[in-house]
């Protein structure tokens, strides 16, 4: 790791952060650094710390809501690339992936190479480095199942660190990285099974679409293709011409409660003895249909109740007001609180 690295620093034009987020919302950055190598990203963060500037690390922008006023500090745009094999045995292969790698491209590569473990995470927008932060998951898989190490820069200690999966504190859609700016994720190690078949299918909807029983396995390509079709039908695969995909995916996490507010509502058990309720079901049964809008150029997706979308003329202020109306409606109807899944920058949910 070099002590001094040349980095590309550019003054950010008005509204530029919206160009780097899947919501296409967010005001300007004070300064933007494009980092194509890990040492460039580290040096940019160090430089900002010395200058006393706040720092925002931005890669795919798929799980980020940026306020209309933008971010007045230093934005480091991660554009690092690289996938290398660092371990292999009879049963598995371990790959080291640069934080800036496009996640879905990585998933497609693993499927093509006969490596099982992330095939059901196809079509998720964003970067590989963001996946441990959020403990990205879908259709019965999450990255905590396959991550063995995260390589990061510790801004407090001023040194590079390697953290085991246990040290990452993975939980439901979260980790120790999510609500802290202490660590800059640089690379992630994934251990994947050497198999042309998927991991056991855990998600009931996916099993039904595949025509198999939960716990069965299917060819990797079949699993990935089916997940992509399911996600596309819900507006969860990015399409510049489809406003339903101008979102952060699921805006709310599925709430976990000690007991059900009503006995007949859908739910599934958690490992700690509580139950998880589908947020989409709560929203729909609180009177918010697909396409619901409070104005301001934002609305619930016409394809999926959990996605709050920018229809092309929206603002972050309007989006968060829509989210509050939905949250308050669910609380009034069921007494359950919904919490946002994305990270909020320069704005508050309240």
Active site residues: 173, 250, 341
Phi, psi angles (nearest 5°) of residue 39: -70, -30
Strand, coil or helix: 20: helix
Collapsing DSSP states into helix, strand and coil, what is residue 136?
coil
Contacts of 211 (CB under 8 A, 6+ apart): none
10: number of CA atoms within 13 Å, CB side?
10
- DSSP, collapsed to helix, strand or coil, labels residue 325 as helix
Task: Give the angle subtended at the CA of 15 by the CAs of 14 and 18, to the nearest 5°.
Answer: 155
Tokens representing 153? 């820069």
- Strands 159-164 and 137-138 come out as unpaired
Q: Are 76 and 57 in contact (CB under 8 A)?
A: yes
Residue holding tokens 């099993």? 207
Q: Write out 146-162 in H/E/C secondary structure.
A: CEEEEEEEECCCCEEEE
């Amino acid at each position: 790791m070099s002590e001094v690295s040349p980095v590309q620093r550019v003054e950010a034009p008005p509204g530029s952060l919206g160009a780097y987020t899947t919501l296409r919302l967010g005001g300007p950055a004070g300064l933007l650094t494009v980092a194509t190598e890990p040492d460039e990203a580290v040096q940019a963060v160090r430089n900002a710390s010395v200058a006393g500037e706040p720092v925002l690390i931005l890669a795919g922008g798929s799980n980020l809501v940026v306020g209309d006023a933008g971010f007045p500090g230093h934005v480091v745009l991660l554009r690092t690339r690289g996938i290398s094999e660092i371990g292999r045995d009879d049963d598995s292969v371990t790959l080291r992936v640069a934080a800036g790698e496009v996640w879905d491209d990585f998933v497609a590569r693993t499927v093509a190479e006969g490596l099982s473990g992330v095939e059901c995470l196809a079509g998720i927008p964003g970067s590989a480095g963001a996946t441990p932060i959020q403990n990205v998951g879908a259709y019965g898989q999450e990255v905590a199942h396959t991550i063995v190490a995260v390589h990061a820069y510790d801004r407090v200690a001023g040194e590079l660190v390697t953290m085991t999966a246990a040290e990452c504190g993975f939980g439901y859609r979260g980790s120790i990285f999510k609500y802290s700016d202490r660590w800059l994720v640089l690379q992630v190690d994934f251990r994947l099974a050497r198999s042309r078949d998927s991991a056991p299918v855990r998600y009931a909807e996916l099993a039904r679409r595949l025509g198999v029983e939960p716990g069965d396995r299917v060819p990797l390509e079949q699993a990935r293709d089916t997940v992509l079709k399911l996600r596309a039908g819900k507006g969860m695969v990015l399409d510049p011409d489809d406003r339903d995909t101008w979102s952060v995916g699921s805006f709310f996490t599925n709430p976990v409660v000690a007991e059900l507010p009503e006995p007949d509502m859908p739910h599934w058990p958690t490992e700690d003895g509580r139950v998880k309720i589908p947020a989409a079901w709560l929203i729909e049964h609180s009177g918010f249909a697909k396409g619901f809008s409070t104005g301001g150029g934002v609305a619930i997706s016409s394809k999926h109740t959990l996605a709050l979308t920018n229809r092309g003329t929206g603002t972050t202020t309007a989006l968060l007001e829509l989210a509050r109306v939905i949250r308050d409606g669910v609380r009034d109807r069921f007494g359950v609180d919904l919490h946002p899944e994305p990270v909020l920058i320069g704005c508050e949910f309240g």
